[in-house]
Structure 1
Amino acid sequence: MKLLIVEDNKLLLDSLKTILETEYTVDTADNGEDGMFFAEQNIYDLIILDVMLPYVNGFDIVKQIRKEKIKTPVLFLTAKDALEDRVKGLEYGGDDYLVKPFQTPELQARIKALLRRSGSLDLDEGIKYKGIVLTGKENDVLINEVPIKLTIKQYDLLEYLIQNNGKIVTKEQIFDRIWGFDSDTTIAIVEVFIHQIRKKLEPFDFHKDIQTVRGVGYILKDY
């Protein structure tokens, strides 16, 4: 699971990253302009978004990504607790609203609730596609109830494909999601890992479900 936190309070931003990266991969931005850029990549399972940000405020970020048909759940995290602000945030396309100061367990519970609601997290905290089950525990994978060993990156890529099954994901989206914007490798690594996962799935005849969309990327769907 990959989260984006957009918060201009450096201490809070670092604290949230430290807390959440024990369970998730976390990207951060400390201003609205960078936050907008990251959010528009459409590679996150959840965005935690402050309202009062330099350059572009949180409301405008949500309005823009919703115009672009990006459905990533958004949790507003802000000191603005007036009813009209909460209503405004939800009307613009936010999914939940948590007012500062807050307790860490509440934040974690809100995150899991939004991930479950969006389908990124199943009730047993795993995700499934046909006979493939990703449990989320130490990168365990079961295929037709047979345990399969994947590397962390292989697991993350298969998870991303399953979360978006039936949808085309571009090579750029996969690269940014799995390796990150600051990676010193190249986008060619995506093809290498797709090949590796197909080999893992081949004994179970699921490898054909990872279909290449020529010149664009890949889609996971029934072959």
Structure 2
Amino acid sequence: MKILVIEDDRRIGGFLERGLVAEGYQVTLEPDGRDGLDRLRNDAFDLVILDRMLPYIDGLEICRLIREERFPVLILMLTAKDSLQDKIDGLKGGADDYLTKPFAFDELLARIIAMRRRGPGQDERSLLRVGTLTLDSESRRVTRNGDPISLTVREFELLRYLMINADRVVSRERLLNGVWEYGFDPGTKIVDVYVRYLRQKIDSAEGPSLIQTVRGIGYMISATPAAAT
């Protein structure tokens, strides 16, 4: 996922860039509205994290221009303006979500994940494949080698999240945020338990598991066998 951060506060911008890159996102940082809008017009992004108060072009105006020019991006408005009217103005201007400063980084990640579920580009992810495993988000049908697999709602969401991030390691924290919408670790090993459930349902007895354990980090789904899981 490619993210454009338009933020004039260097400390906040650097914090966002480092944190999002560590989570596996591709991040471009621009320090003002003019450069941010130019970058958006010349490159493709999935999400714009947009400060409300920016030099040269206000964040709300950028938001309106993005929608007028029909860029297929999600917009998360990030600002110190926290009145109800400010939030209404931002959402009416075209923002998909609104987060006020100061904010917790885990909440920011959870908002991004929630926006991806419902935002532009979702149709492109309706049919996911990893090897012989397929998942159809619209029909909620899962098959392997053409054979249907019955999953619970939570198992389906966990599998879908892993398949969207196929061949990339996903931390337990991201899975908790993205699937259970927890901003904290409840200490119940719920991710590990559900991964075990999934393995029992999607893997055959003969072959290696599609869901690979990356010790100390989390999980990855891949059709390429790992050296050790």
TM range (shorter): 0.5 to 0.7
Q: Pick closer, same or farther for the CA change 1:147–1:68 going to 2, 3 Å.
A: same
Q: What is the CA–CA distance in structure 2 between the aligned matches of 1:3 and 1:11, rounded to whole Å?
A: 18
Question: Could you tell me how far 1:40 is from its partner in structure 2?
Answer: 2.6
Question: CA-to-partner distance for each residue in 1:164-194, whole Å, 9 max, x for gaps?
Answer: xxxxxxxxxxxxxxxxxxxxxxxxxxxxxxx
Question: 1:83: how far off?
Answer: 1.4
Maintained 8 Å contact 2:52/2:78: yes
Q: Report the CA distance shift for 1:113/1:41 in structure 2 as closer, same or farther (over 3 A).
A: farther
**1:14 counterpart letter in structure 2:** G
The answer on whether the counterparts of 2:47 and 2:74 sit within 8 Å (CA) in structure 1 is: yes
Change (3 A) 1:42 1:91: farther
Partner of 2:149: none
How far apart in 1 are the matches of 2:128 and 2:167? 21
- Tell me what 1:138 maps to: 167
**Mapped partners of 2:92, 2:120: distance in 1:** 21
CA distance in 2, matches of 1:101, 1:36: 24
- What is the Cα deviation at residue 138 of structure 1? 3.4
The 4+ residue runs of structure 1 with deviation greater than 3 A are 119-122, 126-135, 137-140
On the 8 A contact 2:128/2:164 being kept in 1, the answer is: no
Aligned residues: 143
User: TM-score, with normalisation over the residues of structure 1?
Assistant: 0.57
- 1:4/1:130 CA distance change after superposition, 3 Å: closer
Contact kept in structure 1, 2:166 and 2:222, CA below 8 Å: no
Task: Give the distance between the partners of 1:35 and 1:58, measured in 2 at CA.
Answer: 10
CA distance in 2, matches of 1:73, 1:21: 18
Alignment-derived partner of residue 13 in structure 1: 13
Give 3-state SS (helix, strand or coil) of 1:40's partner.
Answer: helix
Mapping of 1:39-188 within 5 angstroms? 39-41=40-42, 43-118=44-119, 120=121, 127=125, 129=127, 131=129, 134-139=163-168, 147=223
Specify whether residues 128 and 84 from structure 1 end up closer, same or farther in structure 2 by C-alpha distance, changes over 3 A only. closer
Structure 1: which 5+ runs fail to align? 150-223
Q: What TM-score comes out, normalization by structure 2 length?
A: 0.56
* Closer/same/farther in 2, CA of residues 104 and 121 from structure 1, 3 Å limit: farther
Distance apart, 1:120 and its partner CA = 4.9
Partner of 1:34 in structure 2?
A: 35
The 3 A distance-change label for structure 1 pair 20 and 131 is closer
User: Larger radius of gyration, structure 1 or 2?
Assistant: 2
CA distance in structure 2 between the partners assigned to 1:15 and 1:3 by the alignment? 14
Aligned-pair identity (%): 38
Output the amino acid matched with 1:4: L
What one-letter code is carried by the residue in structure 2 that aligns with 1:15?
A: F
Structure 1 residues 24, 55: closer, same or farther in 2, change over 3 A?
A: same
